[in-house]
Homo-oligomer: A and B are copies of this chain.
Amino acid sequence: MIELDQTHDPKLTSWVASANGHADFPIQNLPLGIFSPGGATPRAGVAIGDAILDLRAVLDGGLLSGSAERAAQAARGNDLNNLLALGAGPRRALRQAVSNLLAEASSLRSRVEPLLYKASDCLLDLPARIGDYTDFYVGIHHATTVGKLFRPDNPLLPNYKYVPIGYHGRASSVRPSGIPLIRPLGQAKRPEAETPTFGPSTRLDYELELGVWVGPGNELGVPIGISAAADHLAGLCLLNDWSARDIQAWEYQPLGPFLAKNFATTISPWIVTAEALAPFRIAQPPRPAGDPTPLPYLTDAADQAEGAFDIELEVLLTTAEMRARGLTAHPLARSNALHMYWTAAQMITHHTSNGCNLRPGDLLGTGTISGPGQDGCGSLLEASQGGKNPIRLETGEERHFLEDGDEVLLRGRCRREGFAPIGFGECRAVIRPAL
């Protein structure tokens, strides 16, 4: 299933100087997105170092042919949905062609160089129209730590190790990195109060997640079997599932989170493709002794052998005071995508097992991917133990939950001996006061 080719060669360099050794976007990554240069119209692009390659201009310049040209044609509008619908073949051909154009040895540099924009001069948009957004709950350390706050002796519910638990989120409020977050208003009931009150959330939180971009998808009524599921994973992004814990606690019974989550979801705007991630796929970590074997519809040898991703994840916090004093961001958490109890393929297969249809450009969140221990907490709910023990910052400030002016930044990086490291770019947003 995993195909490595010369686009993954760690010795490959680009004539785009900033790409060589770039923490996120060396020539081995080539993520796909939608960007607007200056005030111009949105279009498809490929990130390369500190620059963005205008894919439409590459197409119009006659620099592509065959499947790569077909892929770029599909991306000719202002979203990538039609490209995602094509699946891995054309996407891989496009990757190969763009890699050739940007490689140090390219004979076409003079024709390609005018089609680059400085990334700092561009606005990044969502890469696709998200038809539906689903959020899972596959981070087992998160599920366990949060469960302990409510059920100290029995943190995980009986279904957790059988069912990749998920729920539907809100597609309309997903925003790319950089769009500020407005603190939501909502109903909450304080423990000591008789009745709820309405006002700004006082327990605003982040959640460290990955987003899975859906490729071709399926027709209604036709499930995607586990052995085919990886073909429907087009790529990944970082995802911050902002959460208002006070609203959540009051509203979530019996139908789950609603207004506590749907006021905003921030994602990194680049689709890091399944092809770019191929070197970083590894075996699913073994289930702890005594855990049940997944049911047959969720079991596949290839998925067990290479269905997990080794992606280092990080959360950084900058407060208004830290910015004023010129301090660097405070690391809130470090984790890794290996702490997912279910693979992305298992999420896709479970989601469609009842016939539910996924469409190209749908987004699946993993749920909070916490690591073990205090420095792995993928949310402040976990880090502050339900708001009881605040985080202390270098400025002397404390945080039970997020304050106005705080900026949360998620980072993701893949490293493996023998391969060039790649990253996801930024997933950041600053919190503005409630209206």
Residues of A within 8 A of B (CB): 131-132, 134, 137, 157-159, 162-163, 165-173, 175, 182, 184-187, 189, 195-198, 201, 220-223, 244, 247, 250-259, 262-264, 292, 295-297, 350-351, 353-359, 362, 435
Q: Which residues of B contact A175 (CB under 8 A)?
A: 220
- Identify the 10 closest CB pairs spanning chains A and B, nearest first: A256-B256, A184-B354, A168-B168, A167-B255, A255-B256, A182-B221, A263-B354, A259-B354, A262-B356, A263-B355
Is A354 a contact of B247 with CB atoms below 8 Å? yes
Main secondary structure of the interface of A (DSSP, over half): loop
Q: Name A358's contact: one of B172, B256, B351 (CB within 8 Å).
A: B172
Shortest beta-carbon distance from A387 to chain B in Å: 19
Is B254 a contact of A168 with CB atoms below 8 Å? no
User: Can you add 13 more A-B contacts, CB < 8 Å, to A172-B359, A186-B353?
Assistant: A132-B170, A157-B254, A162-B187, A167-B257, A168-B168, A171-B171, A173-B355, A196-B295, A198-B296, A198-B353, A223-B435, A259-B356, A262-B354
Q: Which residues of B contact A221 (CB under 8 A)?
A: 182, 263, 435
- Can you list 16 contacts pairing A with B, beta carbon distance less than 8 Å? A157-B254, A159-B250, A162-B195, A165-B254, A166-B255, A167-B167, A167-B257, A168-B258, A187-B353, A244-B354, A255-B257, A262-B356, A263-B354, A263-B355, A263-B356, A264-B355
Q: Which residues of B contact A162 (CB under 8 A)?
A: 187, 195-196
Shortest beta-carbon distance from A71 to chain B in Å: 24
Q: How many copies altogether?
A: 2
Is B170 a contact of A168 with CB atoms below 8 Å? yes
Q: Which residues of B contact A134 (CB under 8 A)?
A: 258
Q: Which residues of B contact A355 (CB under 8 A)?
A: 173, 182, 184-185, 263-264, 435
Shortest beta-carbon distance from A220 to chain B in Å: 6
Shortest beta-carbon distance from A240 to chain B in Å: 15
Of all chain B residues, which has the CB nearest A358?
B172
Of all chain B residues, which has the CB nearest A158?
B189
Shortest beta-carbon distance from A179 to chain B in Å: 9
Q: CA of A255 to CA of B143 in the docked complex: distance in angstroms?
A: 11
Of all chain B residues, which has the CB nearest A157?
B253
Q: Which residues of B contact A258 (CB under 8 A)?
A: 134, 165-168
Q: CA of A232 to CA of B173 in the docked complex: distance in angstroms?
A: 18
Is B353 a contact of A185 with CB atoms below 8 Å? yes
Q: Name A259's contact: one of B197, B262, B353 (CB within 8 Å).
A: B353
Shortest beta-carbon distance from A160 to chain B in Å: 9
Q: Which residues of B contact A357 (CB under 8 A)?
A: 172-173
Q: CA of A350 to CA of B182 in the docked complex: distance in angstroms?
A: 17
Q: CA of A172 to CA of B158 in the docked complex: distance in angstroms?
A: 29
With contacts A168-B167, A196-B162, A220-B264 taken as known, whether A255 is within 8 angstroms of B137 at the C-beta atoms is yes
Is B132 a contact of A172 with CB atoms below 8 Å? yes
Q: Which residues of B contact A222 (CB under 8 A)?
A: 435
Shortest beta-carbon distance from A215 to chain B in Å: 15
Shortest beta-carbon distance from A395 to chain B in Å: 28
Shortest beta-carbon distance from A297 to chain B in Å: 5
Q: Which residues of B contact A257 (CB under 8 A)?
A: 167, 255-256
Q: CA of A220 to CA of B171 in the docked complex: distance in angstroms?
A: 12
Is B166 a contact of A295 with CB atoms below 8 Å? no
With most chain B CB atoms within 10 A of its CB, the pick from A175, A187, A362 is A187
Q: CA of A262 to CA of B197 in the docked complex: distance in angstroms?
A: 33
Shortest beta-carbon distance from A279 to chain B in Å: 32
